[in-house]
A = this chain, B = another copy of it.
């Protein structure tokens, strides 16, 4: 098996590779994992020796199919546990990420499959992120955000691009939870802040910072 640390590196590389499309830099990994570049170099060499990443000095790193498979299975675990915590144990969506960060490393194929079944094979986690299936297939998000909407257009909240407690808490406070209906009333062009109505009732004003991290489905 692999250590927690190795698994967290693989997950980080997966995330960065997906969002940038290219080979992943040492510094970007260090930033994401809040560690130092020199530590990253050490770990990369180790993962490279295990054939989990391909690596050329100074040229960045990318996952091998094997490394990618491990990364996806950890993400699957993470998101299933998040669903469990919210759906079954009544945690709020801003409380589950850190716990799932630990639970994801409990190694058991069987546990994962039984958990998936117990949760009735959910497709999305509490933040709207898609849950990879048993074979590692992930539905990909279109990533249309509220910031892409125009006045008079209607949309539904389907996810978030930012997972911080403070952001999720803020969304809660203005009613922008998963499934909320939004109509754009007005957009201020100097700062791109938006006035919207949530679920046809309360009218709120939100910054571009907020709208660009809220994934929606147009309707």
Contact = CB atoms under 8 A, between A and B. Distances in A.
A78 to B, nearest CB: 13
A106 B95 CA distance: 14
A38 to B, nearest CB: 24
How extensive is the interface on chain A, given as a class? 10 to 19
A111 B110 CA distance: 22
Contacts of A95: 110
A89 interface: yes
A91 B118 CA distance: 12
B111 A89 contact: yes
A88 interface: yes
A152 B99 CA distance: 52
Contacts of A118: 88-89
A95 to B, nearest CB: 8
A102 B106 contact: yes
A90 interface: yes
Interface in A114-129: 114-115, 118
A185 interface: no
Contacts of A107: 102
Interface of A: 85, 88-91, 95, 99, 102-103, 106-108, 110-111, 114-115, 118
Given A89-B111, A103-B106, 13 more contacts: A88-B118, A89-B114, A89-B115, A89-B118, A91-B110, A91-B114, A95-B110, A99-B106, A99-B111, A102-B106, A102-B107, A103-B103, A106-B106
